[in-house]
Amino acid sequence: VQNVNPAGARTGDESAVMATADLLKALEAGTRGMTVLGEGKLAESPGSQFIARYEYSGTAYRKWAVVVPRPEGTIAHIWSFTAPEGSFDSFRPVAESMLRSWTLTQ
């Protein structure tokens, strides 16, 4: 989990949008062949998620990132799970359990 406060954000929602864009831009700049496989809003809370595929140091990876705005202020919280592409699906149930246990408090 990472907490970010993007420069120029005026609301939590803006912060989450900017944090997502910054994360995708960093992935694209620091890896090869980055492709977003899926993205969308979260059903159970405000925020969004994406799954991306990329190569780093000759290994293919998949990253699942969830970005949620803090209810007050301009902080966004980023939760992510990254694994080599061949292991992603087998470890995803563990990551899903971890994500379900994640709660934000004031």
Provide the residue range defining the domain that includes 30.
1-69
Q: Give buried/exposed letters for 46-55 (b at 16+ CB in 10 A, else e).
A: ebbbbbbbbe
- Are the beta carbons of 74 and 9 closer than 8 angstroms? yes
Is 90 within a domain? no
Is 19 within a domain? yes
Cα dihedral across residues 3, 83, 45, 100: positive or negative: negative
| pLDDT value of position 45 | 77
Is 93 within a domain? no
| pLDDT value of position 80 | 96
- Residue ranges, the chain, pLDDT below 70: 105-106
Is 84 within a domain? no
| pLDDT value of position 106 | 56
Domain count, the chain: 1
Is 57 within a domain? yes
| pLDDT value of position 35 | 98
Is 13 within a domain? yes
| pLDDT value of position 105 | 66
Within 8 A by CB and 6+ apart from 1, the residues are 77, 78, 79, 102
Is 86 within a domain? no
Residue with tokens 């290994």, as numbered in its chain: 59
Is 78 within a domain? no
